[in-house]
Structure formats: structure tokens, C-alpha cells
Structure 1
Amino acid sequence: MTSQRVILAACLAGTSLLAFPAPLAAEDGVDALAESEAPDAIVITATRPAYRGEFDPLEVPQAEQVIGQQMLRDVNALDLNTALDLSASVARQNNFGGLWNSFAVRGFVGDENLPSNYLVNGFNAGRGFAGPRDLSGIEAVEILKGPRAALFGRGEPGGTVNLVTKRPKFESAGEIRLLAGSFDTYRADADLQTTLGSNVGVRFVGFYEDAGSFRDTIETERFGFMPSVAVNIGSATRFVYELEYARQEIPFDRGVVAVNGELGVIPQSRFLGEPGEGPNVAEVFGHQIELQHDFSENWSALVGVNYRDTSLQGTSTEAELTGSRQRLFRDGRTLTRQRRFRDYDAQYFVARAELAGNFTTGDITHRVLIGADTDRFENDQVFLRVRAPSLAGNPTEQQLQAIDIFNPVYGRFPLPTPMPLTDRVEVQKATGVYAQYQIGIAEKLELRVGGRYDDYDQRLTNRANNAVARTGESRFSPQVGAVYRATPELSLYATYGENFRPLSGADFAGNPFDPNLSESLEGGIKYTAANGRLTATASVFSIQQGNILVGDPVNAGFTLAGGEAQSRGFEFDLEGEIAEGLDLWVSYAYVDAEVEGDVRDPDFGLPIEAGDRLLNIPEHTLSVQLAYSTEIAGRETRFGGGVLHVGDRLGEVGTDFELPDYTLARVFAEAELTEGVRLRLDIDNLFDTEWYSNSFSQLWVQPGTPRNARVTASFAF
């Protein structure tokens, strides 16, 4: 390509990058080049954040964190959990034996029987059974705090996680990364891109990983590829297609047990399942299409479609939680287990269209978003189980599927055949329309008002008895906010919003549950340095949540939507360059999340008293990361480290069992050996701290990885 210059447009934090040949005119704050100077210039334009408008961070009446590519690289984040650990507002939850991502934002988590939902480029994409999310194809991770139902519809009141994917930048470039680490971990990543003519950009991202574990007998294998194509259709229309395919083979692992409420009685490496089960297999095949058209410098339309097909299949042998069947509660060494088979499938389709624009009247600015979407989520579950009889009948160890936690013998008994328990399909359909209007007065005051109307339908078919239950809901989710620009670098904000989320399953009568409802208040201060290199946000929040699933006090073993909880807290986030070459990340959160009103635990019927803490939610979390860039012998070098502190957490509802607090330290160093060739060393959990990331009960506790090291070689061209 002859006589080309590449113009890098100033990109708002968290926006996805698209690259297109552009007319020689000033656009997005970039000065035009003379035609004679660059006859075939390529512009990398900064598209607005998908489906939420284009605003300066100081103009948004909500707290937001953007974990960009450099920060993801500094912590060598290969999976979503590692990235989310950077945000103190996010807490790890029960990860379903390592088969999915589960997290809470500001104290609240979604349906414990489904993975936590997240967005991909503004689309709901976390729903389903694709396995833990790999970050090989991700440019940035955004934590959009507070209620977002006014724009995105159904979701969690604490906040939303949005993943921004890597897209073509209309250049010929590539990078290969090879990693070797502790516990026989090996991985390869590829990121290649090129152009086809002057109007088409192509990018291919893929990964392969074969990894052992500090956990006995546990080995995983995963791979995926995410190709994408960007096309410039004329000077004002842009088209992007992205494909996602990934397959993961992961043994189901419920972790370790606490004996009489005490952790550390058995080694953290001890596996209490059956290696003969083999791995569970999670798979995803998805498509995402976006079409953006600019009518003028001030008005544009964005239309998108997303479809994902996910599946999860496999068997597991895991600890029995019912006290009347669990011998460990009696002798302190013999663990009763049950065997399960799962065949889960989910299809999710969403189409979304939005018109965004702005205009001025005098010294008043007006910014408008108007949109609509429709989606369909089908959740098909076949679940089989075989479990031990009651201890009152003096069952044999084979009937208990027993294992000695101090001297495990795998394969001691033949694996029993699970029997049918659940065979159902749930279909959720929804159509929504939304609008957001923000008015700016004299560059000092910003007022936002928005709302969304959803028409929702849920159909639950129990194929075991051919029973069909159906419910519908129409709901309006409002949001109002205000921002006062005290100085060009400092703003004060406040916001109020409402949220709702449908609940899967049905009550004793077979009726689907009413949706989970919430209200949220938030206020804070935002600061951005004049050069944009340093940003900080301090915020306080209060969230009330209702219609939480709790145990049915009349019909044992069933649940109903009637619980209430609240979460209140304070957050402080800071990111940026504090000195030449020195980057600092600080994220702190205090979260007081508790149950309101006496209820019963939905899983075991245990009594929960008003004021009890929510599961796996620490009161105090702090993440600090520091990195320094310099030159050594004329070659670029970057090194640094970080500390993560997580406070103690409730480890089992209805009891006083707690997971202890922990503090993890890490260090890294990366150096350029020759042009395009870099070598990197990471040491995580530097002081070999014993820690536990999450639990569901005293018998399902996930231990954290001990000290480990990784060496990465990267080749850029």
C-alpha cells in the first residue's frame, strides 16, 4: 500500500476500535490531511461505545471501570476471573465445579443455577453454558456499575460487565505468544490481521491451552478461534462480522471440604471426585453482526444481531450436602457422594437497533438515544442423579459412594448409573423499547432521564410429566441522573434506577417465579487530570432487592420468590500515569450486603435471620497494581507487581461458616530482546498464601492456586 499514513483517532475509554478508509475531513477530533499529502489515508476511527451513547467519563452519572489492553497484559490475564479480580466491586461466586464464570457486583449475584450474565459489545452474551470465558479475543473489560436496565434490559442491580472484542484495524500485523508455566501449563495465542483491498479488514484470534493443575488428577484442554471481518460500505457505513467458537474439556471439581467447620484439614490439592468420570465438555458457537451508519457528524444508527449456541455435557461425582445422608458429619473422615449427569443446551438470539444523536439550542446541548431490541433465550436441561440412602438405614460404603478424605482410593466402587431427575426446557422471550435523553446546560450541569419498557414472556415445559407453565410480565425500568461539572477536571454526580431480572424455575404449584426487582441509589465524585492520564472515582451506593428465591416454609424442598436483601457501600477507583513511565491502579470497595427479614435457605431449608451476610461477599476488597516502563540497554522493559486483599466471607448460608480473608502478591517483568521479540516472567501468589476463592457449603469449597510461575515469549510482526 503506497504513500499511506495511519491516523489514530482519540479513542474514548472502552470503545471498540474499527478501521476504515475515510474521506479527508476532520472527524472525531482528528485534523484532516491535505489530499495531496495522503491520497489513500486510512483512518482508525473511534466508534462510540455500543448501545449507550458517546459521553465524556465526567458526564456519566454512574461509576465505570475500564480494564484496558495494557492492564490486561500487565496482569497476564488469560481468563475473565483474573481480569475481574482487578475490580474491588466484583466478588467471586460458586463457579459450578470450574465450569462457568460466576460473580457478584456490589454484593448481588444472579441465578445461582446459571452462569453470570455479561455483555459482549453491548449484547447479552454470558447466558448459556460456554464454560469459563477466555480473554484471547478481548480488547478491554468494562465494569459498568449500578443498574443498567434502562438501556440493556434485564440484569443485575449491582452492575454489568461488558467485554469489548478485538476487531480489524485495517493493517497487516500479527503476534504469536507462547506460554509455559507451573503445573504443566502450556498455551499458544495468535492474533493476525490483514486487509483485502482498501475496504475490507480481516482479523484472526485463536488460542490453545493444555494445562495441569495443583489439584490432583485435574487436567484441562481448551481451544478457540474468533475471526472477524470489517467492511467499509461507502464513506459513512461500516459493517462488522465476528464469529466465536470454543471448546473446553474440564473435569468437574467441587474443591475441598471443611471438617467440623475447619479448613486446611486436608491438603488443598486433594481431589474428592472420581478421575474416571473424565472431563465435562463445554462448547460455544456464536455470531455477532453490527452495521453502523452515520447520517451526519451528529446522528448515527447502529443495528446488531447476536446468536450463540452453547452446550455442556458430562458426569461428576461430588459431595452429598444433605445432613441425613452425609457420613462425614458423623465420623469426620468418610465423605458421602452422589453422581450426576448433565446435558445442558442453550440458544440465545438478540437483535438490537439504536439511533443516537445530539444537537444544540443556544448554550444547551441535547443528546438522545432511542432504541429497541428483541431476544429469545432457550434453556434445555436434562439432569440425572443417583445418591445415597439415609444413614438411618445403615447403608454400605458402596451405597454411599464413599471416599476417605485422608486416604482416597479412586475407582474403589463401580460408578452407579444416574436416574432421571430433571427434564425441562425453558423459553424466555422479550421485546423492549428504550430512550435516554441527556441535557447539558452551560457546560456545568448535565441532567439525564431514561426509561425502558419490556414485554416479557416465559414458558416452562416439564417433559417428565408434560406440564407447561407460562407467565408474562410488562415492566418499565426508569433511570434519572445528574452531573455537576465543578471544574473542567472534577464532577459530582447522582443517579437513581430500577432493575428487574426474570427467575428460572417454578414454585410448588408449577408456576414460574415473579421477576427479581431492585432499586438503586448512587452518588459520587469523578476526577480526570487535564492531560487525561489519570482518572479517579469515589462513589457511595445503596441497593434494595426483592423477590429473591427463598425456601418455601410450607412445602419442603420447594422455593418461592419472596426474600429481600440490601447492599450499601463505598468505592474508590484510581487509574493512570502518576509519573513518567509509572502506572498505578487502585480499586477499593466496602460492601455491606445482608438479608432483610427472616427466611429459609432455598437449597436446604436452613433458617436465615435478618442481618445475615450474603454468600461469598467480602466487606473489604483492595486491588493495587503498579507497573514501570523504561529502557535497559536501549531495549523496552516493563516490570511491576500487585497486591489483592479480599476480606473474610460467609461460606455457607444459614450457618456461621466463613472463608478466611487472604492477601495475594504478584510480580512480573517483560523485556524486549530484539525488535518484535519479548520475553516475560510472571510469579503469582508470591508468598505461597493458602486461600479460598469461593464456596457454596462447607463441603464445596474452592481452594486458590499456590505460588506459580509463567514464562511467555511473544513475537510481533
Structure 2
Amino acid sequence: MFRFAKDNRLLAGTLPVAIALAPCPALAEGAEGAESEEREESSGAITVTGVRQAYRGDFAISEIPQSIAEISAATLEQNGIQRLTDALDLNASVVRQNTLGGLWDAFAIRGFTGDENMPSGYLVNGFNGGRGFGGQRDAAGIERVEVLKGPAAALIGRGEPGGTINLVTKQAELGRTFGTASVQYGSFDRVRGEADVNLAVTGGLTARLIGYAEDGDTFREHVHQTRWGFLPSVGLALGPDTRLTYDFEKTRVEVPFDRGIVVLDGDFRTVPRSRFLGEPGDGDTVARATGHQLRLQHDFNDRWSLLVGGSIRHTLLTGFSSDAETAASRQSLYLDGRSLSRQRRSRYYDADHAVVRAELAGEFETGSLRHRVLIGADYDEFTYDQVFRRFRPPALSTGPTEQQGYVIDIHDPVYGRFPLPDVAVMTDRVDRQRAMGVYVQDQIEITDRLQVRVGGRYDRVRLETDNRLSGVDSRRTHSRFSPQAGIVYKLSDPLTVYAAYGQGFRANVGTDVSGTIFDPESSESMEAGLKLTLLGGALNGTLAAFQLTKSNVLATDPDAPGYSLAIGKARSRGVEFDLSGRLPGGVDLLVSYAYVDAEARSTMVDPNTSFQVRPGDPLVNIPRHNLNMQAARTFAIGDREAQIGAGMQYVGKRRGETGSTFTLPAHTLFRVFGKLDLIDNVELFGSVTNLFDAHWYANSYSPLWVQPGAPRTATIGLRAHF
């Protein structure tokens, strides 16, 4: 008998060089917390399929002193979502940040993000997977998106205090053969094909082949994109209690680098939202990723389980761009309102990331007390090789010509008017981070109603920077113990209260412009809330209040691209509410609201740039109010099944530039979606986003780098199942 817990696809991947521990016991989805199983009889043998949950242990969600939200593959499919960025919009605690011209994922959870010069980190099946430069993550191959909010750094380690995103990928399901294939056409002549085929090769060997390809224009002029990916998974039963899983990733994105539009004097209609202010002659920026995961799970018995595994991932981003000059002293647009001075940039960002992890999970009793423990260790090595080149227009005081300023008319652009400027090396360095961590967690069941969680994590991080341009090599080592504690009390069957406290530690990669490696970020998190289980478990919700503080927060140095400045301390506090499930009448409901007050808590002035942050300044791109709601209902048309749904997202106004009063306006977006079974195993599906064609703005770095959101966008497609 091969045992796995329900909703527990074994996290597996291949790693030629290392075997690492990945998460352990399963999290039951139901309110009762018991591990349920799905069994299939074949040739007299019983096979149980399931997925182990990262960092959670054998707990029901109601037993965890932490707010957790999940976005399922069905929800992604309903909404026609193809990007992780769009998926995260469904949870109000997560908001968009600057995405390097749309070429990486960047988000903040509960008001805090990481280094603006790096993509936001996230986990893939419990392994760090978001730190490289492989382009924005596609939703293909994602089983669910887990938003793990709250003070969990003592377990996960080296992350943001607001929370962590974990992507659970679609794994090979042993002993089954099934599949889906779809083709769709959307606005701006976008065509996409996608396939997911699970093949039972033998009784104990199964391969799941997932791939996608997409090509088409966008609402932005001269911005055509091509993307594809191959994401297979192979599962192998090595015995009744042991499974090996290998996941492979190969993706490529080709798209022009796009800084968005300019906003003069607060007028967001300065130029049309479709206006491209770069240079088509720069060609595409290309982001590539190749990754492997290997995970081995062994169940010693019904109480103890071990998961070991490893991950390696290589990413490379290359290309040129022409971007608006942000320094007022060099920007002719501020003189005549139409002549935009531009920089030209070249990027070569090459990153290698390797992780090995091990986690032992189990339970035992001491007298009348039940202990559920997690014991783990990990090693993480990240190497980032960057060569950044730039041309910059001269100061206006020198009276430059339009060609010297690399000017484009924002109201009547003529592309290719001037020869493309040569670029000179500004940054040429290698950053290496080697980190080792060990952790332990014990959740003690004191009574049938009361549980207490205690734990801690020790990290040791070695940072190295070799600056090939200046010849300066820097080295620093840091270590830190981060404690964690929580309490859960069940007031009644439908209502549980909890509270949690944790400290965190995250190394800041890179140096300031003088070559000094930054001190690491440290954080402190507090959270308390209520968990609701209604309608016999059909409807579940969490109401939480939180406060987070961080020290040694980094922000981009506006006069030194590729470098950062330490702005000191920041604080975020707020209230959030998540509710999901099924109402009487078969209506699926999703509600997510967050109030977040995130601000700087110290003063920082750089004498060379006059870049200034004051206590009380809001953090960039963080709205105080964020709300997402949607409802869907399945019904019959004759003997065919159909579904229709609608959703709404409200994002409040938020600061659009650090150290200034520039503000992005609030926006409200509506969407509709539906599907209809045409014949057996073939369905027609479609969606319309931004239904009322609102003008909205996804994020901003400055008034000259504002990313407009897409207008009304429709998609229609066919999907076949077998």
C-alpha cells in the first residue's frame, strides 16, 4: 500500500547535484484536520495519491496560528489567468510592485516587499524558486497558489515578514492516465495553446507532460510577446511507502522592455495608455529559465515521515531598452512638455540558484500532551552575475541637442530618428550568497481546545561581492536565531481564535555604490485573528490583525541603477479578511479584503542624490484599501453543464514614487467569465477582464515610469478532456 494524504502531491524534482529536504506531512483541507485519502484499485493493489504541504506539518488549517489563503487551479482556469501576477490579484493582502518593465514578478505581502532591484522571492513546492531572471511566471502547471501570511520566518527562513507565496505544481499522479488540451484566442491577436497529459507508464511509474506556447500583440504599441514552456513531472513508486518525484522546467519569454507611460503634472492622460516610449530598434529582451527539482518522500509509519530533495535553477536575462531619464536636471520634457530625454540600457543578468532541504515530521506523546514536530535543515546558494551598461543624456545646463538627449516626442513619436547610442559599462560584478539554516517546531496539544506552538530557526549567511569594474571585493558573514510562538484556542466548532509572534532575518544581496555590503534585514511580526468554519465546512474564513516592523530596508538608488540605498526602518499594520467556499444554491464565493498602513519609520538622506525618506512616508505601490470579490454558479442548459461568474477588484490610491507626493489613483475593475459543455469532454470557455474599460495603473517607480493597466480584454477558447 502506497500512502499519501489528500491534496498532497509529493513535492518532487530533480537535482543532479544535491538532495534536499522539502516539506513534510499533509495539511487536511477540512475543518476536522484528519488526513483523508483518495484510493484507486488496480489489479488488486491500492494506490493512494496526494501532496505533502510545505512547512505545515499534519494540521488542519484551523489549527495553524497563521492566516493561509489558497488559489486553486480551478479558480485560475475560471478567470482565464495565465500569469502569477494576475493570480495574486485575487488575494487582497498581495499587491503589485515594479516589475522591471514587465520582465519579472514583483509583489508585496501585507505591505512589505524585498529589494526593488531583484524579483520577489517565492517557493515552488517548498523550494526557493523566484529569485532568478526567468521572466514572469506562467500559470501553466500550477495546482494551487498558497499565500502563507504571517510570522512564519522562524520556519521558512530568510523571507519577508508579511508572508510567503508557495506554488504547488501539478505532479505526476501514479497509476492514472488523463489529460486536457486547450486553444484560445484573445484581444490583440493573442493566440495560446496549452496541454496537460498524465500517462501511466507502468504501475509505479507515471509521467505528466505539461506545456504551453503563446504569441501575440499587447495593448501597448510595438510590444509583441512570445512565450513558451515545458514543465514535465515524473513520479516513481520505490515501494509501498516511498516515492521519488522529478520536475523539470524550461521556459522562454521574448518581449520588448517597456517602462510604460509618462505623467506630467498629475495628468494621467498625458499620453494614451497604448503609447510606447521606448525604441523598437532595441529588439526583444529575452528571459530564459531551466530548472530541476528532485524530491524523495518516505513514510516510516502512520506517524513519521521524511522528505528530502533538492533544486537547481539557472536563469538568464539579456537585452537593450530605451527608458525615460528620471533625473530632472537631464530631462527636457520638463522644459517643453513633449521632448522626452531617454537613457539607453543593456542588461546581462545571469543567476544560478541551488537548494537542498530535509524535513522530518512526526508526532509523539509525553503524558497527556500530544506533540507534532517538524525538524529540518536547508542549504541555499545563489550566484548573481550582472553586467549593466548605460547611455545617459547630458545635463540640460550643457545645452544638448535632441540627438545628444536621445529625445522622442511623446505626442508624435518618430522611432529610429537617431542612431542607437552606444552604452558604457556601469555595473560589472558577481554577488554570491551562501546560507545554511536549521529549524525545529513543536505544536503541543494541551487540551482538546488549546494548542501551543513554539519553534526557532538558526541561519548563517555568507555574502560575497566581486566588483570587476572597481576591483573591490567585499565579504561579510551574518548569523541569527529567529524564534516563533503561537497559540490556538477552539471556542466552538465553527470558531477558533489564534495569535502568533515571530522574528525574521533576510540577507540583502549586493552593495551600495561605494562597494559596502549591506547589513541584513531583520523583522518582527505579530498577528491575531479568528478562523471561521461555516455550513458544515463548506465556507471558511479568516479575520486577522497584524503589525510588522523591519530594519535596514533597501530601496533603489535613483542615481545608480543596479544599486540600492538603506532607508532604515519600516512598519506595516492592518486588518484583513478572507472568505471562500460554497453557499447554499451551489454558488462559489471568494471575498478578500485588506487594510494596510505601511510607512517608513526613519529618516534617510543621501548627500549625493538628495534622495530622502521621512518617518510617516507611505511605502511605494501599497494601497491602504484592497478588495477582491467573485461569485460563480454552475447550472444546466438542457443536458449540458454551464458555469457563469463575475468578479470585482478595487485597489485604493497609493504612493507612486519614493520620497515624493506622486500618487497613483484608485481603480475598480470588473470581470466576467463562463464555460459551456458543447459535447462530451469538450467545453467552450471565455472571459472578459476590465469589463467597463477603466483606465488604471498597475504600479509606478516615478511619474516617468508608470505602468498602465490593460483595457477591456476578451478571451475565448476550446478545451478538451480525456
Alignment TM-score, normalising by the size of structure 2:
0.94
| Partner AA of 1:49 in structure 2 | Q
Structure 1 distance, partners of 2:512, 2:271, is 39
Q: CA deviation at 1:135?
A: 0.9
Q: Does 1:87 align with 2:87?
A: no
Residues 551 and 602 of structure 1 are in contact (CA less than 8 Å); yes or no, is this contact kept in structure 2? no
Distance 1:558 1:529, change over 3 A: closer
The correspondence for 2:75, drawn from 63, 71, 74, is 71
SS in 2 for 1:82: helix
Alpha-carbon distance, 1:340 to partner: 0.3
Q: How does 1:388-407 map to 2 (within 5 A)?
A: 388-407=393-412
1:504 CA displacement: 2.1
CA–CA distance in structure 1, aligned partners of residues 66 and 38 of structure 2:
31
1:341 CA displacement: 0.3
Structure 2: tracts of 5 or more residues without a match: 13-33
Please state whether the residue corresponding to 1:377 is helix, strand or coil.
strand
Per-residue CA deviations over 1:36-57 (Å, capped at 9, x if unaligned) read x865344343333033312100
Q: Kindly provide the CA deviation profile for residues 79-117 of structure 1, in whole angstroms up to 9, marking residues without a partner as x.
A: 101110000001100110011110000000111001000
CA shift digits 1:608-666 (9 cap, x unpaired): 22111100000000000100011111111111110000000101122111100000000
Write the letter of the residue equivalent to 2:114.
G
* Equivalent position amino acid for 1:375 in 2: D
| Aligned 8 A contact 2:6 2:37 in 1 | no
> Cα offset for 1:507?
3.4
Shift of 1:329: 1.4
User: What secondary structure, in the 3-state scheme, does the structure 1 residue paired with 2:397 have?
Assistant: helix
Residue 672 of structure 1 pairs with residue 677 of structure 2 = yes
Measure, in 1, the Cα distance between the counterparts of 2:651 and 2:109. Answer: 14
SS in 2 for 1:397: coil
Q: Distance in 2 between matches of 1:231 and 1:552?
A: 49
Quick check: 1:690 aligned with 2:695?
yes
Paired residue for 2:57?
Answer: 53
SS in structure 1 at match of 2:223: coil
Aligned to 1:345: 350
Partner of 2:620: 615
Amino acid at match of 2:659: G
Amino acid at match of 2:139: L
CA distance in 1, matches of 2:516, 2:478: 13
Which residues of 2 match residues 566-605 of structure 1 at below 5 A? 566-600=571-605, 604-605=609-610
Instruction: State the percentage of identical aligned residues.
Output: 50
2:243 aligns with: 238
Q: Retained in 1: the 8 A contact 2:99–2:105?
A: yes
How do 1:64-463 and structure 2 match up within 5 A?
64-170=68-174, 171-361=176-366, 363-463=368-468
Q: Which amino acid aligns with 1:178?
A: V
2:287 counterpart SS class:
strand
Following TM superposition, by how much is the alpha carbon of 1:607 offset from its aligned partner in structure 2, in angstroms?
Answer: 2.5
Would the aligned equivalents of 2:226 and 2:254 in 1 still touch at CA under 8 Å?
yes
Q: Secondary structure at the match of 1:359?
A: strand
Over aligned residue pairs, what C-alpha RMSD do you find? Answer: 2.2
Q: What residue identity is the alignment partner of 1:280? A: T
Match of 2:20 in 1: none
Partner of 1:563: 568
Of 65-74 and 419-428, deviating more is 65-74
In structure 2, relative to structure 1, the CA distance for the partners of 1:95 and 1:601 (3 Å cut) is farther
Distance 1:67 1:550 in 2: 30
Instruction: Report the Cα offset of residue 249 of structure 1.
Output: 0.2
In the TM superposition, what whole-angstrom CA distance separates every residue of 1:653-703 from its partner, at most 9, and x where no partner exists? 221111000000001110001111000121111100000010000000000
Is 1:16 the counterpart of 2:9 in the alignment?
Answer: yes
For residue 361 of structure 1, report the CA deviation from its aligned partner: 4.2
Q: Is the 8 A contact 1:547 1:561 kept in 2?
A: yes
Note if contact 1:557-1:605 (Cα within 8 Å) is conserved in structure 2: no
- Sort the Cα spacing of 1:226 and 1:360 in 2 relative to 1 into closer, same or farther, 3 A: same
Q: CA 1:225/1:558 → structure 2, altered by over 3 Å: closer, same or farther?
A: closer
- Hey, what does 1:3 align to over in structure 2? none
Tell me the secondary structure at the aligned position of residue 406 of structure 1: coil
Answer whether contact 2:117 2:556 (CA < 8 A) is retained: no
Partner SS, residue 507 of structure 1: coil
1:276 is paired with a residue whose SS is helix
The question of whether the paired residues in 2 share the 8 Å contact of 1:551 and 1:605 is answered with no
User: 2-side partners of 1:466 and 1:415: how far apart?
Assistant: 30
CA 1:413–1:370: 2 relative to 1, 3 Å: same
Which residue is equivalent to 2:19? none
CA contact (8 A) 1:491 1:525 kept: yes
Separation of aligned partners in 1, 2:408 and 2:561: 29
**Residues 360, 48 of structure 1: alpha-carbon distance in 2 compared, 3 angstrom cutoff:** farther
Q: Specify the code of the residue in structure 1 equivalent to 2:281.
A: G
Q: TM-score, normalised by structure 1?
A: 0.94
Residue of structure 2 in register with 1:24 after alignment: none
Q: Using the TM superposition, give the Cα deviation of residue 597 of structure 1 relative to its aligned residue in structure 2, in angstroms.
A: 2.4
Q: Partner residue of 1:641?
A: 646
* Aligned 1:496-507 pairs, distance under 5 A: 496-507=501-512
After TM superposition, give the deviation of residue 77 of structure 1 in Å.
Answer: 1.3
1:170-224 Cα deviation digits (max 9, x unpaired):
3111111101000010000000111111101110000000020111111000001
Distance change >3 Å, CA 31–CA 547, structure 1 → 2: closer
CA gap of 1:495–1:311, structure 2 versus 1, over 3 A, is: same
Aligned mates of 2:660, 2:679 — CA distance in 1: 58
Please state how far the C-alpha of 1:236 moved relative to its aligned partner: 0.7
Quick one: distance in 2 between partners of 1:380 and 1:618?
A: 34
- CA distance 1:17–1:329, shift in 2 (3 Å): same
| Cα gap change, 1:388 to 1:439, in 2 (>3 Å) | same
In structure 1, the residue corresponding to 2:253 is in which secondary structure? Answer: strand
> In the alignment, is the contact (CA less than 8 A) between 1:325 and 1:390 conserved in 2?
yes
On the 8 A contact 1:28/1:45 being kept in 2, the answer is no
3-state secondary structure, aligned to 1:514: coil
The answer on whether the counterparts of 2:6 and 2:38 sit within 8 Å (CA) in structure 1 is no
Residue-pair matches, total: 699
DSSP 3-state at the match of 2:328? coil
Q: Which amino acid counterpart does residue 544 of structure 1 have in structure 2?
A: T
Q: Distance in 2 between matches of 1:506 and 1:680?
A: 49
Q: Secondary structure at the match of 1:183?
A: helix
Q: For the residues of structure 2 that align with 1:329 and 1:347, how far apart are their CA atoms?
A: 42
* Structure 1 residues 552 and 416: CA distance shift in structure 2, 3 A: closer
Cα offset, 1:517, TM superposition: 1.0
* Residues 397-437 of structure 1: per-residue CA shift (max 9 Å, x gap): 00110000000000000001101110000010011110000
Q: Matches of 2:210 and 2:562 in 1, distance apart? A: 46
CA 1:48–1:398: 2 relative to 1, 3 Å:
same
2:227 partner amino acid: R
Mark the CA change 1:7 to 1:476 in structure 2 (over 3 Å): closer, same or farther. closer
Letter of the 1:512 partner, please give it.
I
1:265 shift after superposition: 1.5
1:11 aligned partner, one-letter code: K
